[in-house]
Structure 1
Amino acid sequence: MVAPLVAVTGPQRGAFGPRFLVAQVLRLYGARPIQVRPSDVDALPDFDAVVVTGGHDVQPVLYGAEPEVHPKYDPERDELEKRVIHKALAEHRPLLGICRGAQLLNVCLGGTLVQDLRLHRRKTSHRRTILPLKTLDVVPGTLLLKLLGQGAQRINSLHNQAIDRLGRGLHIAGRDHDGIVQAVEDPAYGYLLGVQWHPEFLLYRRSQRHLFRALIASIKKPALG
């Protein structure tokens, strides 16, 4: 049986650690990862599923907003990943968006983002760390709950932006204790999931590996709807 091909997006340079970890867990579950970079924008490979990884903030112009902060942007990567996301949606391919990947998925579906979370935190810290120090409250009846299991989950936090107005078809699947959206999904799609944390840094937790295992498993299943 031919291993399914999973596109793993990222910047032109750098981010070796996250992309390596994502590739390793995809191989663990029988997939063949292919790295896709901004230089590939005009020659996208065919793929069976996609993981849109984390990185710089999404440009506000993409959702019709003025910049409220001045972080680093990567316009070339934004353009690449927009095309990858739209290709995946058009072909109904399973998709996992991680951090900025979840944010860009939301934007591609017509949603908007909160640009600076510091003003929205009351109960939780704005500290950025790969350690699972933040609590995730998972919404009952969601795909995310099936994957992670019952009870509050511990997650990490490396982001300054977050999902604000939801894109078309997306439902909230998890929040933190400040009510900030931590996960979205489309229950009618099959496997279309965006998570605000970085599960690739938590692969020692079986529940986090389930996000990738289910992505691969869904390739072999017909989509719902």
Structure 2
Amino acid sequence: MILRRRDSDGDRAARPRIGVTVSARSAWRIFPLIRLQVALAGGRALRWITEAEVDLAAVDGVVIGGGDDIAPMLYGGELRAGVTLDPARDRMEARVIEAARGQGLPVLGICRGAQMLNVVLGGTLHQDAFAVYDASRRYRTILPRRRVEVLPQTRLADLAGTQPMRVNALHSQAVDQLGQGLRLSARDEGGMPQALESLADPFAIGVQWHPEHLVYAHRQRRLFRALVSAAGARFQGDCQTEAVDRMPPVDASETFFARD
């Protein structure tokens, strides 16, 4: 891990720094989208492609981005033919999540990132989720085609409301057994898990879809606002979940399919 220039306390308090892990192959197109979402939420994103770039002391929160399937050996699964893996990224992100949790940094997991959060906390995955949830339609698009049901009495419901959301979908794996301290917060129409969240500090939420592509959608931007709010609270030594809970409630006019 390298040492980056430290920002002043005033800069960090005003614009929390968010470390973002991305794939070497897709960083050029994915990181600018996440950087935009973090900026709109009031933060500043730092890109991490390799473990040598990671500096947790320089950030106040973490985004674990999407990408290849997670190696099944990490959660007791079996390697299947034809699956693209990235062992170096697996190691990097597992270490980032472990260290972030240990240091009280909030985490937002996106697609693979949500799955990695679950695995690091002791959970497992369905390697072929659509073989298990045969009522769930398989999508591979950045367009908002999949309908997701937000579970009531969850932090995601507080952030985004309980009206169904239309989201995009690129994944083939999904959460099986939940990791320690996590609960489900959304499913699709076929019952497949689509989001999970931590029950207490440090704040953590993971979604199976790619909210970075849905920059026009109010409720998707609130995921990044929640992360930045939690990061700012952590920097100030305040309760992260309480800071997220103090966010203004979602406007009912923002929960219709055309704008979600």
Mapped to 1, the partners of 2:20 and 2:174 lie a distance apart of 21
Confirm or deny: 8 A CA contact 1:68 1:116 kept in the other structure.
no
Partner in structure 2 of residue 86 of structure 1: 98
Mapped to 2, the partners of 1:190 and 1:138 lie a distance apart of 22
State the percentage of identical aligned residues: 42
Mapped to 1, the partners of 2:229 and 2:89 lie a distance apart of 28
CA shift for structure 1 position 101:
0.2
Q: TM-score by structure 2 length? A: 0.82
Letter in 2 for 1:159: H
Confirm or deny: 8 A CA contact 1:139 1:174 kept in the other structure.
yes
Partner in structure 2 of residue 205 of structure 1: 217
1:44 to 33, 50, 55: 55
Partner in structure 2 of residue 102 of structure 1: 114
CA shift for structure 1 position 119:
1.0
Partner in structure 1 of residue 23 of structure 2: 11
Report which stretch shifted further, 14-23 or 118-127: 118-127
Q: Does 2:44 correspond to 1:27? A: no
Letter in 2 for 1:148: A
Q: Secondary structure at the match of 1:50?
A: strand
Q: Secondary structure at the match of 1:97?
A: strand
Deviations 1:81-129 (A, max 9, x none): 0111011100111100000000011000011000012313433321211
Report which stretch shifted further, 32-41 or 91-100: 32-41
CA shift for structure 1 position 149:
1.5
Give the aligned length: 224
Letter in 2 for 1:145: A
Bigger Rg, which one: 2
- CA RMSD for the aligned pairs? 1.7
Q: Does 2:129 correspond to 1:124? A: no
2:159 to 147, 159, 169: 147
CA shift for structure 1 position 223:
3.7
Confirm or deny: 8 A CA contact 1:120 1:178 kept in the other structure.
no
Q: Which runs of 5+ in 1 are unaligned?
A: none
Flag the 1:190–1:84 CA change in 2: closer, same or farther, 3 A.
closer
Flag the 1:87–1:132 CA change in 2: closer, same or farther, 3 A.
same
Structure 1 segments of 4+ aligned residues over 6 angstroms from their partners: none
Q: Which runs of 5+ in 2 are unaligned?
A: 1-9, 243-260
Mapped to 1, the partners of 2:26 and 2:32 lie a distance apart of 11
CA shift for structure 1 position 69:
4.8
Q: Secondary structure at the match of 1:62?
A: helix
Mapped to 1, the partners of 2:42 and 2:120 lie a distance apart of 29
Q: TM-score by structure 1 length? A: 0.94
Q: Does 2:174 correspond to 1:162? A: yes
CA shift for structure 1 position 68:
3.8
Q: Say which structure is richer in helix.
A: 2
Partner in structure 1 of residue 246 of structure 2: none
Q: Does 2:233 correspond to 1:222? A: no
Mapped to 1, the partners of 2:166 and 2:202 lie a distance apart of 25
